[in-house]
Structure 1
């Protein structure tokens, strides 16, 4: 594994000046070549870069664990799932929050605050956007870590505070909502003569109106985590967001995402699955095949088991003369580790190599009946994709997810609106979004979306918006879960919140059995241990989280739960 970072967005890099170590910060303060008043519109670069340039997270968190825990993928034949439930080298987004993301966002706010009073107003939108980015990044870290430093974080420069307290999620959820609401109101107020981030903002190019919508969607998303803790707060936030003049996403064109423009982003290195090859999981593929999900070819590649290959194996005597070709090019593996040696399944976990003799000449052929994940969505070099002009997409907040959240709230009677309409708009948005991702990534065998196939999918009994309340909620959350395929950390969070997919559900979650024992899928990361100076606060945070009885007996109990993830 290589720790290679590739970046090709083509934005300014002036913000990098503030990402260096603060060990000699006093010297930097007096340096004649380093400005103490950098343009705040340039300081966003390192933060937004660090949110999406996450090849290390993909290599470890996603490929080795989250995609397999959520049963999108399975360790391919010829590889091993060893260590699947004892994660290592994960959770690097935690480090990025404090080293690269948060401190430049805080610096934007501090630089503006140091400007003359009559100049500060023109930077209001910059400060508000930085706040939304800071809340998103901190929430994403806390989502799987629990209590983290927030209100006192990043104070080493300003207040020489090297021992920030760890805030509870209960406190942070309220703080984040208030901060987001204020930021959205600022962005929606139409302030004149605002300085813009411009091209330094790789998401919205400094468009305050779009950032305001994203802030509202983020408020709603964070609030949804409180459904098991404080449903009345969820209702209040939903009502407030729906009444906001800033509005919500109106289409896929509004959503918060990154689309690369450069040819050298997300290519090879840690982006590649070659060292952690993943095949499709059986339950996922079967659900998508059975219901004719239009995203099937966007999530998974066809296997190599073509009719021509079958015929050559039959001609060579590998198969009997009466064997019949089964025309199914999407086939998955069981997710449970023990099924790799189960006689009923062991054959599909074997790499199939055949030596065929034609006219006295031996030809070696592979008959791969299992479908890989759609590798080029994650690594643009996959499947001979180098220098083909492909572009990488990373969703952050999507219009489809917004629709599914509103559908769920409507079904629960916590928000107004027609749940069926929200649900069907969500499916349509998700399918269209993945169609666009596949087209931009130039996946092999790409075919434009068939509108009739999409409508047929929505009408399929397992998908159609019919059934009792519990069935409707399950269907909504299945579609929300599938929509997070390209953001497996989000799929992990959605599964924890809603309990969907579930064992024996419409989209079944396969029980994971290892060495004869049913194994619980991990639900959190271990809270990283800080330097010696702040270990007391760290230990107190863990002790506090253990009071619920659900966090686990020790900080490395990955099956424990953080505060919002209540049983």
Structure 2
């Protein structure tokens, strides 16, 4: 009996220790400095949502899509930028990561009855889902962001059609417009400390919501013209209910700090000692020549003048290749010895851009040393401000007064009722852009030039909108797809002879969600330029431009 009691006591002690240790381990696994999802202040996550959203928009429009739209070219590591060699590597995981965090803020805001937070997160949701469908086409939308509901439908979500995504976004932005209709003091919460766009001002967020609606209605204008017309006219008919961004002071933008590389303007030199990222990004000839032809002073804000212009002079002795008075003088035979034709170089005395999609971008315009091509003194570098981690003009630009006024100019040109003429909105759009870049005093002279005065064509309007989209080139790409303007030609060494119109669905998505990805790919329109890619090509047309004959 004694032995039996001892055994029972031993087992009891062992069980007590086991449960005690398990409880201790659970308690030890709780981060005392972390935020519980059940009690977290939404602002702790909202600040990350906003900054990551701002950076994602900038990185898209300042990097490879700026190469597609021929704002810039790279003279090193240039395949994706100059030649569209994307290799199905463009992933949407970062965008969905932002949306998951945004959904957390929204859900917490619903729990806490915080209408301001709900409205702001719906605006971000609309912008980010809009970006996803703009870039890829059909995508998970209605069943996305439901990872906590472990079902086959949410684990491997079906792709919504592009049409349904756009319409769903517009509906959600309408809800955001209503939620953001109160004055700041009437809300039971504040986002002032977390809001890097508008410092907690709900009236500006409301303008952003309605301005995004204008963007997406115009996106649909070729495919669903009556739907787009009704939507835009409804907004413009009632400015009290639907305020929009009309001046640069209401632009949705985000500045940068120099605290770390992650919080700084991308590709600056402060955190990159040899300046390789900054120096590899150069102006593209297409944009440079378009602006030079119009004496556009914004060019000097965005680019440095060429350090050493070229001068080819047939009167010089053979073999002349010298730098004198800040210029490099060459005799024609020097070009011949390098197998370079006169028409293949630029003798611009002010700004020189690299032609799009050429071979040997690193040695364009007689670079003196191929090994140091990134320091080429015969092409224009970006303005020195783009070396810096921060500055008043270094901002991510999500949607602006310039873009909105160009949208209204285009709507007016279509004959839609928008309360003004196409010329009035066109002029306002350019004025807004000049104000943004600190050139408001120069705009009147610019607008009086014969090749700038509004000529009543979509071509001129979209070309000016393309120029104004500097560092936000993704918007000009989406405009190009539906209008065919500006009339850009692919370079001689790009992997297709025309510009792409979408991103590839990435390999990991096709592997993990194969059935739904293949269904989405089957809805793409294969074109003559899809070639070996098949349906999932950057040259296969998504729904929004199918049947439009655009852009090629």
TM-score, structure 1 as length reference: 0.75
Larger radius of gyration: 2
Q: Identify which of 15, 39, 42 aligns with 1:40.
A: 42
Aligned to 1:9: none
| Residue 535 to residue 352, structure 1, CA distance change in 2 (3 Å) | same
Structure 2: 5+ residue runs without aligned partners?
A: 1-25, 311-319, 332-346
Q: Distance in 1 between matches of 2:326 and 2:145?
A: 68
Q: Counterparts of 1:314 and 1:193 in 2: how far apart (Å)?
A: 67
1:313 aligns with 2:330: no
The SS at the match of 1:513 is: coil
Deviation at 1:426, TM superposition (A): 0.5
Correspondences of 1:461-500 after superposition (within 5 Å):
461-466=450-455, 469=456, 472-500=457-485
User: 1:405 is matched with which residue?
Assistant: 407
Query: 1:513 aligned to 482, 485, 492, which one?
Result: 492
The alignment yields a C-alpha RMSD, in angstroms, of 3.8
Distance 1:473 1:181 in 2: 28
Contact 1:125 1:186 in 2 (8 A): yes
CA distance in 1: counterparts of 2:326 and 2:139, whole angstroms: 63
Number of the residue aligned with 1:368:
377
Task: List per-residue Cα deviations over 1:32-62 (Å, max 9, x = no partner).
Answer: 855212122333122112112349x84xx66
1:380 maps to what in 2? 388
The alignment status of 1:561 with 2:541, answered yes or no, reads: yes
Secondary structure of the corresponding residue to residue 400 of structure 1: helix
- In 1: Cα distance, 2:93 partner to 2:77 partner: 30
Q: Give the direction of change, closer, same or farther, for the CA distance of 1:319–1:237 in structure 2 (3 Å limit).
A: closer
Q: Secondary structure at the match of 1:420?
A: helix
1:199 corresponds to which residue? 193
Cα distance per residue 1:231-264 (max 9 Å; x no partner): 1111111012112424111310101110224454
Unaligned stretches of 5+ residues in structure 1: 1-26, 355-365, 382-387, 436-448, 503-508
In structure 2, distance between residues paired with 1:367 and 1:105? 44
Check 1:150–1:375 CA distance in 2 against 1; reply closer, same or farther (3 A cut).
Answer: farther
Q: Which residue of 2 aligns with 1:87?
A: 86
Partner of residue 66, structure 2? 67
Cα separation, 2, equivalents of 1:293 and 1:541: 43
Deviation of 1:495 (Å): 1.7
Q: Does 1:179 align with 2:177?
A: no
- 2:6 match: none
CA shift, 1:409, in A, is 0.4
- TM-score w.r.t. length of structure 2: 0.76
Which residue in the other structure is 1:333 paired with? 354
Aligned position for 1:429: 432
Counterparts in 2 of 1:317 and 1:402: CA distance versus 1, 3 Å: closer
C-alpha separation in 2, matches of 1:258 and 1:316: 39
- Could you say what secondary structure the match of 2:186 adopts? coil
Preserved contact between residue 263 and residue 391 of structure 1 (Cα < 8 Å)? no
Q: Distance in 2 between matches of 1:256 and 1:270?
A: 29
Whole-angstrom CA distance in 1 between matches of 2:437 and 2:278: 25
Preserved CA contact (<8 Å) 2:526 2:539: no
Q: Give the Cα–Cα distance (whole angstroms) in 1 for the partners of residues 529 and 85 of structure 2.
A: 19
Is 1:352 the counterpart of 2:332? The answer is no
Q: Deviations over 1:313-354 (max 9, x none)?
A: 248998489xxxx8822122322426x59xxxx984331269
Match of 2:251 among 255, 274, 281: 255
Query: In the alignment, which of 380, 383, 396 is matched to residue 394 of structure 1?
Result: 396
Q: Do the aligned partners of 1:64 and 1:84 also contact (CA within 8 Å) in 2?
A: no
Structure 1 contact 149–165 (Cα < 8 Å) conserved: yes
CA 111–549 in structure 1, closer or farther in 2 if over 3 Å, else same:
farther
Change (3 A) 1:140 1:548: same
Equivalent-residue separation in structure 2 for 1:450 and 1:261 (angstroms): 26
Tell me how far apart the structure 2 counterparts of residues 316 and 110 of structure 1 sit (CA, whole Å): 62
Deviates more, 1:226-235 or 1:390-399: 390-399
1: CA distance between counterparts of 2:421 and 2:126? 30
Q: Once the 2 structures are TM-superposed, how far is the Cα of residue 299 of structure 1 from its aligned partner?
A: 2.2
> How far does residue 532 in structure 1 lie from its aligned partner after superposition?
5.3
| Matches of 2:529 and 2:376, distance apart in 1 | 47
Q: Is residue 155 of structure 1 aligned with residue 146 of structure 2?
A: yes
1:295 Cα deviation from its structure 2 partner:
0.5
User: SS of the residue aligned with 2:509?
Assistant: coil
Cα-to-partner distance string for 1:371-398 (whole Å, 9 max, x where unaligned): 1233633x425xxxxxx86663110000
Using a 3 Å threshold, how does the CA distance of structure 1 residues 84 and 320 change in structure 2: closer, same or farther? closer
- The structure-2 alpha-carbon separation of the partners of 1:259 and 1:291, relative to structure 1 and needing over 3 Å to count, comes to same
Q: Distance in 2 between matches of 1:375 and 1:84?
A: 26
CA distance in 2 between counterparts of 1:511 and 1:492 reads: 13
Counterpart selection for 1:233 from 205, 227, 230: 227
SS in 2 for 1:313: strand
Cα deviation, residue 536, structure 1: 1.6
| Distance in 1 (alpha carbons) for counterparts of 2:398 and 2:285 | 27
